[in-house]
Amino acid sequence: MSVLLVEAFYGGSHKQLIDLLQESVDDCVTYSLPAKKWHWRARTAALYFMQAIPSSPSYRILFTSSVLNLAELVALRPDLASLKKILYFHENQLIYPMRKSQERDFQYGYNQILSCLVADVVLFNSAFNMDSFLSSISTFMKTMPDHRPKGLDQLIRPKCRVLYFPIRFADVTRFLPEHKLQLRQTQSLHTSSSQDSPDLYEITKARCQNEPHMKKPSEEGPLQENDMEEMAHHLTFSQCVDREPRMPRPLHIVWPHRWEHDKDPQLFFQTLLKLRERELNFEVSVLGETFTDVPDIFAEAKEQLVSHIRHWGFMPSKEDYLRALCQADVVVSTAKHEFFGVAMLEAVHCGCYPLCPKALVYPEIFPGPYLYSTPEQLCKKLQGFCKHPHLVRQHVVQVNTSTFSWDSLGEEYRSLLTAGPPSSS
């Protein structure tokens, strides 16, 4: 085997990437550890792989994630040092949020810096991830009491590049409700005829004159840039389902994230409880993977929101999970930590309207209308959607998910993992 795929935390997006590479790239062999006890994997995985990976003269490339201390592995296994070493960052520990009761453990970020120094290529799943890591190295190293190294970011930067996480989007057509199927057909028609579309200002002006809920352009002067953005956003609503039914189904909100503190479930559930207090009509599906320590807020919220729950808990079946996303109207992120966000993009692929913080990686992927700056803005948007669920059911989301698909990115990954001649020892 020419390509060594080594994953110290084989779960979630880490597992998805390794499985996809194993399936799609010739001549690969995988060595991994289960996705448990993350901190121990980061500390000790190199010692395990030193013994688990057999020696072979056929290895040419080593691909691993930044959970593994790559510097330790190649020190323990000098035969691996001569390989082309590719390090992939799903996240970085220099800005990973800590709970108030915790202090940042220097070791994890230090391990990642060492791994970058010995790697030949350093890949990041987003520009936000790469920029936040490189710009934080200097400040991070200042926590050392003395004899601090300098210029490490300058040594690492030339090796770095952004290569988005590749998602293999499933065909979910059979799971889509009728209104989402109509939107897809409408979107296809708009795409194919976009070259012949009338001027945006004229369309906007005409629709504003006829639709009282839309903001009208000023008659005293040209449209302002902010007005254009807002009205262009409204124009993405489908023409074929323009009226709200008298008795609409409750708004279906989905939260498909890991049940951990860094995804800020507290904010999400506090927002839903405000909607409940205001006697608004909604359903909620709380999906996502659980680990050893589940925050207490989940049990408390389940009890308080019991009459609003549609689905609750991790769905091991990918088909059931996608079906649940297709049934939902709005997907919400309340994350305090996100370097890419597979779950949000999968939900958009399933026709959900995204609401994300105006921070972290989200502005890199989602246009402004899908971002909120404060908890109050999130609550206000959901409140409006609860009152008028047709606003999201008639909306074509302006996010091109194909940019993040394996079909678009696969060739770049294959090129990186094409085995060339081995390096000289």
Q: How far apart (Å, rounded) are the C-alpha atoms in residues 318 and 167? A: 14
Please provide the distance, in angstroms rounded to a whole number, between the alpha carbons at the two ends of the chain: 19
**pLDDT in the model for residue 98:** 64
**pLDDT in the model for residue 68:** 98
In this structure, the number of other CB atoms found within 10 A of the CB of residue 246 comes to 5
Take residue 275 and report the two structure tokens written for it. 């909607």
Residue 403: partners with Cβ closer than 8 Å, 6 or more residues away:
164
- Architecture category of domain 173-194+243-404 in CATH: 3-Layer(aba) Sandwich (3.40)
In 3D space, the residue among 411, 419, 359, 418 whose CA is nearest the CA of residue 163 turns out to be 411
pTM of this prediction exceeds 0.75:
yes
Tell me what the mean pLDDT of segment 211-232 comes to.
42
Provide DSSP, 272-322.
HHHHHHTT--EEEEE-S---S---THHHHHHHHTGGGEEEES--S-HHHHH
pLDDT tens track for 317-353: 999 999 999 999 999 999 999 999 999 999 999 999 9
Domain 3-168+406-416 has CATH 3.40.50: yes
In this structure, the number of other CB atoms found within 10 A of the CB of residue 423 comes to 12
**pLDDT in the model for residue 190:** 56
Domain boundaries, the chain: 3-168+406-416, 173-194+243-404, 199-242
**pLDDT in the model for residue 237:** 42
**pLDDT in the model for residue 279:** 97
**pLDDT in the model for residue 99:** 59
Take residue 105 and report the two structure tokens written for it. 């453990």
Asked if 92 and 339 touch (Cβ cutoff 8 Å), the reply is yes
Please check the confidence at residue 118 and state whether its pLDDT lies above 70: yes
Take residue 127 and report the two structure tokens written for it. 């520009």
Helix (H, G, I), strand (E, B) or coil at 398: coil
Band of pLDDT at residue 218, cut at 50, 70 and 90: very low
- For 54-58, 286-290, 418-422, which range has the lowest pLDDT when averaged over its residues? 418-422
pLDDT tens track for 355-375: 999 999 999 999 999 999 999
* Burial of residue 40, with CB atoms counted within 10 A of its CB: 0-12 exposed, 13-18 middle, 19 or more buried: exposed
Q: How far apart (Å, rounded) are the C-alpha atoms in residues 297 and 303? A: 10
Per the prediction, the chain carries an average pLDDT of 87
Domains 3-168+406-416 and 173-194+243-404 share a fold: yes
Band of pLDDT at residue 133, cut at 50, 70 and 90: very high
- For 102-116, 178-192, 248-262, 275-289, which range has the lowest pLDDT when averaged over its residues? 178-192
Q: How far apart (Å, rounded) are the C-alpha atoms in residues 50 and 297? A: 40
pLDDT tens track for 152-200: 999 999 999 999 999 999 999 999 999 999 888 877 665 544 444 333 3
Backbone angles phi, psi at 347, to 5 degrees: -65, -40
